[in-house]
Amino acid sequence: MKKILITGGAGFIGSHTVVAVHQSGYQPVIVDNFSNSEKSVLNGIEKICGRAFPLHEGDCVDAPFMRSVFKAEGEIAGVIHFAAYKSVNESLEQPAKYYKNNIGSLLTLLDVMQEFKSPLLVFSSSCTVYGDPDECPVTEAAPMKETPTPYGKTKQICENIIRDVVASGRDIKGVALRYFNPIGAHPTGFIGELPIGVPNNLVPYVTQTAAGIRDRLTVFGDDYGTPDGSCVRDFIHVVDLAEAHVKALDYLQGVKEPRCYEVFNCGTGHGHSVKEVVETFEKANGLKLNYKIGPRRPGDIEQVYANTDRVNALMNWKSKLSLDQALKDAWNWQKMLNKK
């Protein structure tokens, strides 16, 4: 079984990807410093997979630590790199923290991968690299426009670093997956999105409001140029997104060119408004949410959703799970948390 190192493997997308990697016949190895995740997630992974996986607790910016991981594990066939700070709002307040961690961890990882001859990298990128796109659905050919957040800028910089490193002939092939808006949870309810403190993302705030943890949900703006005035996003089930990482590994292994670097959109190809998500959640779960309309939020763009033709054709991957199912799974996860 080929070993795949998964940095940030205890996070929301990372934990689901650990499961998908295992179920596809690879052996996942987890690296996490638990700065934005909980160790209880590992128990959920073990329940789903029926076994535990190697865990190395530490920081990806720390080069000696990362070398110790590669030495301990022997040959690592590929790396899926999630480890990064991810709050758009926090990045506006603490930009230096985001530049240091998100870029520094990638630079350390690339050096160590080269040193230990680990040839494949799947990078966790974001649709924020497009900024406010000129048209939707947005294709991979769209330019990287100015993005209003340091978080988005770190993703742009990291993509350029990988592209340049691959082009330099350092025996690394890379894929950057540009996520749109991951939501949902594993259907077992054993793992899901676990924000620390007040959620920054829409769906966990929705589920926490439904559970009574939050008094009220705020929809930020109803005066955008969209059908109902609220922002439009491409919401993708996290289980679908996790499987895209396995497809990316398979794709890289099938490429013969030594200097391969590709970017792919990972979304459903459909846009849904914030109000539509709220209404779908209510219908799917038979609940009423307490919510209000508030002012626009700094850093939000009006709408962005994916054109997925390229990833469908080249990586043989397509999202399968509906918005309705994602919101049911998210609520099921929240109810499991409530029991704990």
pLDDT digits (tens, 9 = 90+) for 157-192: 999 999 999 999 888 999 999 999 999 999 999 999
What are the φ/ψ torsions at residue 235 (nearest 5 degrees)?
-95, 120
Q: Are 246 and 21 in contact (CB under 8 A)?
A: yes
Q: What angle do CA 138, 177, 185 make, to 5 degrees?
A: 100
Check residue 276 and give its pLDDT.
98
The residue with tokens 């996490």 is 32
Q: Where in the chain are the domains?
A: 3-184+236-269+306-320
Mean pLDDT of the chain: 96
Tell me which residues of the chain have a pLDDT lower than 70: none
User: Could you tell me the pTM of the whole model?
Assistant: 0.96
Interacting residues of 195 by C-beta distance below 8 A, sequence separation 6+: 201, 204
Check residue 310 and give its pLDDT.
98
- Name the residue type at position 191: I
- Of the chain, the end-to-end C-alpha distance in Å amounts to 35
Active-site residues, by number, are: 151
Check residue 200 and give its pLDDT.
85
CA distance 328 to 326: 5
Judged by DSSP in three states, 158 sits in: helix
Judged by DSSP in three states, 235 sits in: strand
Topology annotation, domain 3-184+236-269+306-320: Rossmann fold (3.40.50)
Residue 87, number of CB atoms within 10 A of its CB: 18
Check residue 339 and give its pLDDT.
85
